[in-house]
Amino acid sequence: MPLDQPSDDDRQQASQHNIDKMWKFVEKFAEKSGSYLHPQREITEFLVIGLAKHIDEVGRPLCPCNFYEDKAEEAKRSTWICACEEMQKYKYCH
């Protein structure tokens, strides 16, 4: 089943500056760490948008795949900051 492409509305959830910053980060991190991005680029793009949105909101790239009751508090703990512990352990981002 094909996945929808991120829309302009999706992309407008975060600043373009932070979206660009997160694309560079995830591509460099994958290259340096031997990690893998999702084979469907649109899934990675949704993740990049979510990371950038969290930078806009709390100043840190929280993993957008989790629910946080208090994003600011979670950002202080750093458990789910990209590259999160799961990413570092399994070398694969969703």
CA–CA separation, 8 and 52 (whole Å): 15
Segments of the chain assigned E as strands? none
Alpha carbon distance 56, 61 (integer Å): 9
Is 84 tagged catalytic?
no
Of 63, 65, 82, 93, which one is the catalytic site residue?
65
Active site residues: 65
